[in-house]
Amino acid sequence: MLNQRTLPRIGLGTFRLKDQDVIDSVTSALSLGYRHIDTAQFYANERAVGEALKQSDVPRDEIFLTTKVWWDHLQPQALRESLEESCRQLGVEYVDLALVHWPSPDDDVPMADYIGALSEAREKGLTREIGVSNFTVAQLDQALSVPGGEHLITNQIEVHPYLANHKVVAHCQEKGLQVTGYMPLAVGKVMDEPVLKEIAEAHAASPAQIALAWVAARDIVVIPSSTKPEHQQSNLEAMRITLSADEMARIDALDRGERIANPDFAPAWDA
């Protein structure tokens, strides 16, 4: 993990956003100061994200752009070709970070094959950095042990007050990997949480801001999705909120292992 770049503390997630919605969302975020945009092949919005990048005045080299390779493109040649297609869709020569979106179901493609192919894509300049997403502790250890695994910089996983994911977070950080947390607002469920409402009142903030501040305080990169400029701005401002140890502990206690992203091809999660 030498010479890796640090991911910006907050980024804009684009899951479920399509067409003009994603163009408007990315354009607005960039104008507000976001410099980290997260997309994926599976989101089917790379072309629209690229259009927003083209419309923006922000120079390409100031934007940290992440995409993800879907699990049916993990054979080495398919992985490389799909990343080339992602770059074409995005209208860029390279992405800043390419992730394996999900580990290969049932190890259909050997991990050494696709981690090696991801590392080769990095060497060829298709991506500046590489990482994984939705990897368990055991899978992460395996990924780090195969050739090319030494270049991995992050594991992007679901993290929010109802799924603290302590075991995976701690393991990643012990191994020197950054953790990126997706769905940090639990698809809006945090807004109605009494504990977050109470803490928010003490900070003149919103429950969403408190949830984001809690994730960020754990040294986790957050990538909330939002289409409204006022929400994007308030998410940025959440990075300035400092929670007390007692407040952190109260939010920690909300963890109930509630997993939102759990498709039938998901790995056997860590307890």
Mean pLDDT of the chain: 97
- Residue ranges at the known binding site: 101
- Residue of 43, 114, 162, 182 marked active site: 43
User: What is d(CA 108, CA 11) in angstroms, rounded to the nearest whole number?
Assistant: 32
Question: How many structural domains compose the chain?
Answer: 1
Helix (H) or strand (E) holding 38: strand 36-38
pLDDT on residue 1: 40
Does 220 reside within a domain? Answer: no
43 a catalytic residue = yes
Model confidence at 216, in pLDDT bands (50, 70, 90)? Answer: very high
pLDDT exceeds cutoff 60 at 3: no
- Residue ranges at the known binding site for substrate: 101
User: What is d(CA 213, CA 209) in angstroms, rounded to the nearest whole number?
Assistant: 6
CB atoms within 10 A of CB 160: 28
Q: Following DSSP, what letter does each residue of 78-97 receive, concatenated?
A: HHHHHHHHHHHHHT-S-EEE
Does 226 reside within a domain? Answer: no
Q: Rounded mean pLDDT of 101-125? A: 98
Does 143 reside within a domain? Answer: yes
Does 89 reside within a domain? Answer: yes
CATH number of the domain residue 104 falls in:
3.20.20.100
29-50 confidence digits (pLDDT tens): 999 999 999 999 999 999 999 9
pLDDT on residue 114: 99
Helices (H), 33-186: 46-55, 76-90, 111-123, 137-145, 166-174
Task: Give 229: exposed, middle or buried? Use CB within 10 Å, 0-12, 13-18, 19+.
Answer: middle
